[in-house]
């Protein structure tokens, strides 16, 4: 429920921010790509530090509360901005909060769950998270005309405050199956065997492929959709994300998480290819919906793999490494996509993403081989 209300807050902004930057502030695609990538990349090492701290202190809830509180404090301030550098600064503040909270939050979910149900557990989390991501854009569409961009941004204080209150009052630290450990650099190296390293490489290649949804919304504007209707496109993407999240988790528990992730990569490839060659708005919307389906499959299954790759006492550190690897590539890939979009057009930008989705799938196949080799040695 914390994630549900936080995502209502976040997606109220996300659904209209590209249109606000592009139409109201006159920001170029290159700058939009920089904004979308910079905050995540610049806070990527914070995710690693947060994961290590969660393992060392044994108190994951405190870090989670701090991260959610920071994010939900800075988002309403977006209603006061008048230039893209101010937007960038506030996006960075929001992402710093996410960097603090994400590894300890994921570790808390893993601590609360049996190994055989890990995919389903992360599927439940993604489903509730993305339900908020559907409600937020729908509210943005309904309220943009009467409130304007500034009013939408200020409105985020309501669901954000509810989320922090639920977390602080009702969420309890789960009893860990492993004792808190003093995490050291030497000890952390235990998790970086070939299977985990190859997995992180695949996740990073996927992050290069999965360019920001902002480029999808810009494509819609390019094809003639009114700016306010981009919120509905975004809501549709999130609805497909919801629809695929929990089923993907259950399927990954049954047929294997590696296979589930590769299905997600294939959906991303199909999505980008469809949008790159879309001859009509209807075909473009189909490609956008495939993008939402792929997100539910990948984001559920990717995180569910990690507990099977590392010792239990290093879950927080492992999630920190995972999120850091993704964060490091977010800025350069979105900057590159923005440059390609501006110079060569949207089809070239989507082709860029599709090519890296194939590379990510190959790396995931190699991860599967390394995991099989590890099991045979054990």
Q: What is the pLDDT of residue 239?
A: 86
CATH architecture for residues 2-169+187-377: Up-down Bundle (1.20)
What separation in angstroms does the CA of 117 have from each of 106, 136, 246, 262?
14, 29, 11, 20
Mean pLDDT of 244-259: 80
Q: pTM score, two decimals?
A: 0.70
List the domain boundaries for the chain: 2-169+187-377
Sequence-distant (6+) residues with CB within 8 A of 78 are: 13, 17, 87, 90, 153, 156
**Phi, psi dihedral angles at 311 (to 5 degrees):** -60, 145
69-78: pLDDT as tens digits: 999 899 999 8
26-48: pLDDT as tens digits: 777 778 777 766 766 667 777 77
Query: CA nearest 8: which of 213, 163, 237?
Result: 163
3-7, 185-189, 316-320: segment of lowest average pLDDT: 185-189
């Amino acid at each position: 429920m914390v994630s549900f209300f936080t995502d209502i807050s976040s997606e109220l902004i996300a659904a209209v921010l590209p249109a606000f930057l592009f139409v109201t502030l006159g920001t170029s695609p290159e700058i939009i790509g920089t904004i979308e990538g910079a905050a995540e990349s610049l806070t990527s090492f914070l995710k690693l530090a947060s994961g290590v701290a969660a393992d060392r202190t044994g108190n994951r809830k405190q870090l989670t509360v701090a991260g959610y509180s920071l994010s939900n404090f800075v988002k309403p301030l977006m209603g006061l901005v008048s230039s893209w550098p101010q937007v960038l600064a506030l996006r960075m503040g929001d992402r710093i909060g996410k960097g603090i909270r994400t590894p300890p939050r994921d570790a808390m979910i893993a601590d609360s769950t049996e190994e055989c149900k890990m995919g389903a557990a992360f599927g439940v989390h993604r489903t509730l998270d993305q339900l908020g991501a559907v409600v937020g854009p729908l509210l943005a569409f309904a309220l943009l005309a009467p409130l304007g961009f500034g009013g939408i941004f200020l409105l985020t204080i309501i669901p954000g405050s509810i989320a922090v209150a639920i977390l602080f009052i009702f969420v309890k630290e789960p009893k860990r199956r492993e004792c808190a450990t003093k995490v050291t650099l030497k000890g952390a190296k235990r998790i970086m065997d070939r299977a985990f390293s190859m997995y992180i490489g695949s996740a990073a290649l996927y992050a290069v492929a999965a360019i920001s949804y902002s480029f999808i919304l810009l494509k819609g504007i390019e094809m003639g959709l009114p700016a306010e209707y981009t919120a509905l496109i975004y809501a549709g993407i999130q609805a497909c994300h919801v629809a695929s999240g929990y089923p993907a988790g259950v399927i990954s528990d049954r047929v294997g998480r590696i296979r589930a992730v590769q299905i997600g990569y294939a959906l991303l490839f199909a999505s980008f290819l469809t949008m790159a060659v879309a001859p009509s708005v209807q075909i473009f919307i189909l490609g956008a919906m495939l993008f939402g389906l792929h997100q539910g499959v990948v984001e559920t299954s990717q995180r569910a793999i990690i507990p099977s790759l590392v010792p239990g006492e290093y879950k927080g550190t492992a999630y920190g490494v995972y999120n850091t690897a993704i964060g490091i590539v977010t800025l350069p890939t979105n900057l590159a996509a923005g440059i390609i979009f501006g110079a060569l057009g949207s089809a070239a930008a989507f082709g860029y993403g599709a090519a890296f989705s194939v590379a990510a799938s190959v790396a995931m196949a190699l991860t599967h081989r390394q995991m099989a080799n590890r099991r045979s040695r054990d």
